[in-house]
Amino acid sequence: MQKQGNQTIKFDNPPQIISSASIVGNKENQGPLGEYFDEVISDGYNKQPTWEQAQIKMTKDVMDKTLYKASLSKSDLDYLLAGDLLDQAIASNFSARKFPVPFIGLYGACSTMIEAMALGAMMIDGGAANKVLTYTSSHYQATERQFRTPNEYGDKYPPYKQRTVTGAGATVLSDKQGGVQISEATFGKIVDLGVSDPQDMGSAMAPAASDTILQHLNDVGRSPSDYDLIVTGDLGKVGKSLVMELLSEKGCNVEQNFADCGVMLYNSSQKVGAGGSGCGSSAIVVSSYLLPQLMYRNLDRILVLGTGALLNSVTPLQGETIPCIAHAITLTATGHLVK
Amino acid sequence: MQKQGNQTIKFDNPPQIISSASIVGNKENQGPLGEYFDEVISDGYNKQPTWEQAQIKMTKDVMDKTLYKASLSKSDLDYLLAGDLLDQAIASNFSARKFPVPFIGLYGACSTMIEAMALGAMMIDGGAANKVLTYTSSHYQATERQFRTPNEYGDKYPPYKQRTVTGAGATVLSDKQGGVQISEATFGKIVDLGVSDPQDMGSAMAPAASDTILQHLNDVGRSPSDYDLIVTGDLGKVGKSLVMELLSEKGCNVEQNFADCGVMLYNSSQKVGAGGSGCGSSAIVVSSYLLPQLMYRNLDRILVLGTGALLNSVTPLQGETIPCIAHAITLTATGHLVK
């Protein structure tokens, strides 16, 4: 691999994504992408005694499903790369207990899935691994309770607020060429323009997303039209509009080919404020919708950004603003349908 | 780089650690290693309004100090790699706000510093970076409040309980050869043998540490006597004894050259239970004591393990046991004192 420009890594032998899967909640299943997901859990408890254990079970199940779809066993993996929004990333850590595979824990808030895929691709291209499993998850009740009003108090949805996605997604990256490849990765800087309202994550994250998009295009010497789609993780409607405005101010027009996973996930009748948020948002849309679109050549080259707001439940009460980050990967279809 | 055995990566061009620094609390300064640390903060508040902000300030200061010692500016860095114990790793995220450098967020509980150094070495050896800054921190009051009895209630110290270290440590890794190098990295598996008492972290983490030590020695084909020192991050007295017992059962004798940073940090008169714990424990001992010992050839080759307990404050209340992890790096002195 080699560094290209200031923040981008170009892979010499771009790792292939040989398998992906997702498990979602009922609300996500009822949205426009419902038909694409692999499984739906019965309700928020997922047959477990607590919401946290429901999320851990969903995460374990998506790891197994992704391996099964790749016809691999746990011992075929070199590394697990994962993280999530629950304090101390317990959904990711606990779900790896039965995996006899080295675990590399990450935290990038809702950018974690793309961070994991970027690091996994680096490990493979650098020669440290042949196969890695990347995964993450989020869970409406577990996350909302931790970060926002306790659910039981009855939660209001102003138009700029987003709903945490219930969903788990995973991918297996391989050193074998072909299929859909991760060809570049652009790790983002922390950007904090002073937004302090933890209900308005879209506005907080938009400047970080815009920064990484501009940096990526500059590093690789392309324009937005060189991509079939530029898609962010969970900016929601407010953040999506703001990114398009910020990019437009810099002379970068993405009117034709810009989307946000959090917006794609729900119908307007589903009353989710500005859309979905959470680690699961980009993870399930990438795993079950975007990757198949690339595999079947409905899309040829896309830029996917994981977008994360790096606050916790204490910092807004202490008067802090919200530092945000966005990591990007370029996904390229080679047209070789390799098993 | 190349994979060696099941879990170890051997670097082709081992990255050099060109700078390191630490900032500690009063208790750590009064311990046996006090004279080695770069700075001491005045008290738990570190001239800030909250404990969390005290930790963030200490972390920012150690980043600046480490760069200063390397005669580098922020723009010389390719990446920041960091994480910490505060919910959503805010000490690491927030302290990177003024750094115009891509940030890769990690979470390995108290193994985070060694995880960061291992990943940073991979990025450099793989060609993705020339210089990276790795850092972490922990803070007694901020951490104990989050995980254990609120400090104000008056906290008891049974002999197996550990005290969270107040300390921040950082290193700069470079692609230039010489000095003290990271020659190998062994990422650990998650190990959970059923310990459920969050006061007894040493017993919970010992099996993970033992697993990674045995795996490393097997992967590289060495015995403990090939190392001047094998040192764990924060097992404390109880965990340290347990690791030595677990290793001995497997025919691996480390009686002569085994130490734990959490034990090294305090005198027995300091009333800290079994010793220190927290991300800062291994970070400050590596940054300010072990690296100089290697630089001046009092030590030639050591194995350093970061040891992490991957619980949060909710999981013990939900009846969960504690998954643990240990990551290791080999540090080798080349004897070339390169600036």
Helix (H) or strand (E) holding A113: helix A112-126
pLDDT digits over A32-45, tens only?
A: 999 999 999 999 99
Using a CB–CB cutoff of 8 Å, tell me whether B109 touches chain A: yes
Listed residue (A234, A282, A228, A221) closest to A254, CA to CA: A228
Query: pLDDT tens, A95-112?
Result: 999 899 999 999 999 999
CA separation for the pair B26, B42 (Å, rounded): 7
Q: How many CB atoms lie within 10 A of CB B133?
A: 28
Looking at per-residue pLDDT, the higher value among B328 and A271 belongs to B328
> Which residues pair with residue A172 across a beta bridge?
A19, A133
Q: Give the count of Cβ contacts less than 8 A between chain A and B.
A: 173
Domains in chain A with CATH codes: 1-339 (3.40.47.40)
Amino acid at the residue B322: I
A234 Cβ under 8 Å from any chain B Cβ: no
Q: Select from B96, B125, B314 the Cβ nearest to the Cβ of A190.
A: B96
pLDDT band at B148 (very low <50, low <70, confident <90, very high): confident
Residue B338 has pLDDT above 50, yes or no: no
Instruction: Give one word for A273, left, alpha or beta, with left for phi > 0 and alpha for psi -120 to 50.
Output: left
The answer to whether the beta carbons of residues B114 and B155 sit under 8 Å apart is: no
**CA–CA gap between residue B288 and residue B301 (Å, rounded):** 17
Chain A, residues 78-107, CB within 8 A of chain B, namely 78-79, 83, 85-90, 93-94, 96-97, 99-107
Average pLDDT in the B154-176 region? 91
Cβ-defined contact of A119 to B119 (cutoff 8 Å): yes
Residue B107: which of A94, A107, A311 has the nearest Cβ?
A107
Q: What is the pLDDT of residue A309?
A: 97
How high does pLDDT run on average in chain B? Answer: 95
The whole-number pLDDT of residue A336 equals: 56
What is the pLDDT, as a whole number, of residue B336? 56
Segment A184-200 shows an average pLDDT of: 96
CA of B290, closest CA in chain A: separation in Å? 24
Percent of chain A as helix, strand, coil, to the nearest 5: 40, 25, 35
A259 touching B, CB under 8 A? no
Alpha-carbon distance of A142 to A237, in angstroms, equals: 23
Q: Which residues, numbered 132 to 191 in chain B, qualify as contacts with chain A under a Cβ-Cβ cut-off of 8 Å?
A: 186-190
CA distances from A103 to A95, A212, A230, B69, B313 (A): 11, 27, 30, 33, 21
Could you report the per-residue pLDDT of A206-218, keeping only the tens digit for each?
A: 999 999 999 999 9
Q: Is the pLDDT of residue B99 over 90?
A: yes
* Mean pLDDT in residue range A275-288: 98
* pLDDT of A338 higher than 70: no
Q: Are B101 and A189 in contact (CB < 8 Å)?
A: yes
Rounded Cα distance, B4 and A78, in Å: 12
Residue B193 β-bridge partners: none
A239-265 pLDDT, tens digit per residue, is 999 999 999 999 999 999 999 999 999
- Give yes or no for a contact between B209 and B326, defined as CB atoms under 8 angstroms apart: yes
Q: Is the pLDDT of residue B337 over 70?
A: no
pLDDT band at B339 (very low <50, low <70, confident <90, very high): very low
Amino acid at A169: G
Residue with tokens 């108290």: B110
Interchain contact B311–A (C-beta under 8 A): yes
Q: Give A2 to chain B, closest Cα distance, Å.
A: 5
State yes or no: pLDDT of B7 exceeds 80: yes
Q: Over chain A, what is the mean pLDDT?
A: 95
pLDDT of residue A98: 87
- Of all residues in chain A, the percent with pLDDT exceeding 90 is 92
Q: Say which residue the tokens 């009748």 belong to.
A: A269
- Residue B294 to residues A8, A135, A275, B225, B299, Cα–Cα distance (Å): 34, 38, 53, 17, 5
